[in-house]
Amino acid sequence: MSEKILDRINKTGDIKKIRRELYPQLAEEIREFMIEKISKSGGHLASSLGVVELTMALHTAFNLPKDKIIWDVGHQCYTHKILTGRKDSFDTIRSLGGISGFPKRQESECDAFDTGHSSTSVSAGLGMVNARRLNGEKNKIVSVIGDGALTGGLAYEALNNAGQLKENFIIILNDNNMSISQNIGSVSRMMTNIRTAPKYTDFKSNVVSALEKIPKVGGRIIKKIRGAKSTFKSLFIPGMFFEDMGLTYLGPVDGHNIDDLLFVLEDAKRVKGAVVVHVMTEKGHGYDPAMRDPERFHGIGKFDPETGECLCKKEPDYSRVFGGIMCKLAEKNDKIACISAAMPEGTGLKNFAKRFPPRFFDVGIAEEHAVTFAAGLAAGGAKPYVCV
Ligand SMILES: Cc1ncc(C[n+]2csc(CCOP(=O)(O)OP(=O)(O)O)c2C)c(N)n1
């Protein structure tokens, strides 16, 4: 049997010793490892499978633990744990006394921030950037936030604040077009527009390389183009929304292509101020059952790694009982409405949503908004239940 590259990954920084052409094989081995382990313990598999290459690129481009990576929610951190000396503890993941399924500072000096709740990473990262200045340090700070987490208001409060920043702060937008379920709302629609827009980056580099060939004049035109932000860029820049907030936007970039990721990360390091790197990933990437049903594999119990079939008992849980009762109540009372903050499945309300669509509201990962929205519904005579 040929030697596994993953056998050479035992502590933080080991990935940097692996030859670049072996990275795709390493990514495959990490996925195999993760699927095998999580099939026995259960866990957040689909999100972690989606960021294997992104995590490898981050660990190559940055120096941990000096540089800091803040994982939003933290459920996508399995590759990060594998690359930071915790591979051999994976048999204990999510069990009493074992390693956590989320980043934990007490577990590793490479876990920069304890997470769990969504949409906090930009605030936490911005705080660290300011602490860095106060301490006179020079390390890099990277927040990784999903498109689902970007439906949470807290993220915008932080982006609004970050727009004024004069020093480097890298925000990776991990866009897989999914929250736990389908992502909702206009931010999600905006992302789709960005994804389908003509590739600004390709266009830009084509124009620049064509102009560079023009002696003398070319350089001057390039400078002008780079300066003409609002007029020229708005025509082609998909991330104008971020640029208008005072952040630099780079991307979109293929999140499963490590060379492209490394290239854009080097660019991001040079930006003076906050920079959003828009990375496109696929939830569940590399494992057919998870790619077919990323929602089921978001947080899954024990399963058969060959088929992806669930091995857990189908006993009714609290959420399912609750969902059933809400349906019964709603049959009798047409004022009853349910509001979920991106958790229709987790709150047992999928069936309610299907049966009473006008009375079901998925408001995105936005609990504060959900509660105030419910107060508004109640003022209008409805009987709202906020389910988080
Ligand atoms: C405040 C809060 N509300 C709800 C959740 C439940 N939750 C965990 S992950 C997740 C979806 C996150 O989507 P995204 O950020 O796009 O990451 P992905 O799973 O797609 O990688 C949700 C709603 C949470 N962790 N925190």
Q: For the beta carbon of residue 221, count every other beta carbon within 10 angstroms.
A: 14
Distance (Å, whole) CA 149 – CA 124: 14
- Supply the mean pLDDT for the chain: 91
140 and 184 housed in the same domain: yes
* Within a domain: 63: yes
Average pLDDT, integer, range 177-203: 74
Q: Is the pLDDT assigned to residue 74 strictly greater than 70?
A: yes
* Within a domain: 221: no
What sign does the CA torsion over 249, 255, 257, 259 have? positive
Structural domain ending residue among the three candidates 253, 274, 292 = 292
Q: Name residue, tokens 């002008």.
A: 224
CB neighbour class for 164 (10 Å; exposed up to 12, middle 13-18, buried from 19): exposed
Q: Is the pLDDT assigned to residue 177 strictly greater than 60?
A: yes
Q: For the beta carbon of residue 56, count every other beta carbon within 10 angstroms.
A: 25
pLDDT for 259 equals 97
pLDDT for 192 equals 77
256 and 373 housed in the same domain: no
pLDDT for 118 equals 97
pLDDT for 185 equals 83
Average pLDDT, integer, range 151-171: 97
Domain that residue 349 falls in = 318-387
* Within a domain: 309: no
88 and 52 housed in the same domain: yes
Distance (Å, whole) CA 68 – CA 381: 49
pLDDT for 387 equals 87
Q: Is the pLDDT assigned to residue 204 strictly greater than 60?
A: no
Q: Does residue 331 or residue 208 have the better pLDDT?
A: 331
29 and 92 housed in the same domain: yes
* Within a domain: 203: no
What sign does the CA torsion over 100, 75, 23, 3 have? positive
Encoded tokens for 201 = 């980056």
21 and 66 housed in the same domain: yes
278 and 379 housed in the same domain: no
Average pLDDT, integer, range 72-80: 98
267 and 372 housed in the same domain: no
* Within a domain: 297: no
* Within a domain: 183: yes
Q: How many domains does the chain have?
A: 2
178 and 59 housed in the same domain: yes
* Within a domain: 263: yes
Cα 253 to averaged position of ligand 1 atoms, centre (Å)? 22
pLDDT for 207 equals 53
Cα 298 to averaged position of ligand 1 atoms, centre (Å)? 9
* Within a domain: 230: no
Specify the range with the lowest mean pLDDT, choosing from 179-188, 221-230, 299-308, 318-327: 221-230
pLDDT for 194 equals 76
Longest dimension (CA), the chain: 78
CATH number at residue 285: 3.40.50.970
365 and 245 housed in the same domain: no
Which residue from 298, 365, 368, 388 has its CB within 8 A of the most atoms of ligand 1, so it is best to mutate? Answer: 365
Q: Taking the model in full, what pTM does it have?
A: 0.91
Region of 311 (left: φ > 0; alpha: ψ -120 to 50; beta: rest) is alpha
Which residues does a 6 A CB cutoff place in the pocket of ligand 1? 47, 50, 73, 75-76, 117-118, 146-149, 176, 178-180, 283, 298, 341-343, 365, 367
Ligand 1, residue 44: give the atom nearest the CA.
Answer: 19
pLDDT for 226 equals 52
Cα 89 to averaged position of ligand 1 atoms, centre (Å)? 25
pLDDT for 205 equals 54
Structural domain ending residue among the three candidates 274, 292, 310 = 292
Average pLDDT, integer, range 367-383: 96
Reported confidence tier of residue 315, pLDDT bands at 50, 70, 90: confident
Which residue from 154, 179, 183 has its CB within 8 A of the most atoms of ligand 1, so it is best to mutate? Answer: 179
Query: DSSP letter string over 337-374?
Result: EEEESS-TTTTT-HHHHHH-GGGEEE--S-HHHHHHHH
Reported confidence tier of residue 1, pLDDT bands at 50, 70, 90: low
255 and 372 housed in the same domain: no
189 and 338 housed in the same domain: no
Q: Percentage of the chain surpassing pLDDT 70?
A: 89
pLDDT for 160 equals 96
pLDDT for 368 equals 95
Protein residue with least CA distance to atom 22, ligand 1: 180
pLDDT for 370 equals 97
Answer yes or no: are the C-beta atoms of 84 and 66 closer than 8 Å: no
Reported confidence tier of residue 233, pLDDT bands at 50, 70, 90: low
Reported confidence tier of residue 227, pLDDT bands at 50, 70, 90: low
286 and 332 housed in the same domain: no
Answer yes or no: are the C-beta atoms of 251 and 49 closer than 8 Å: no
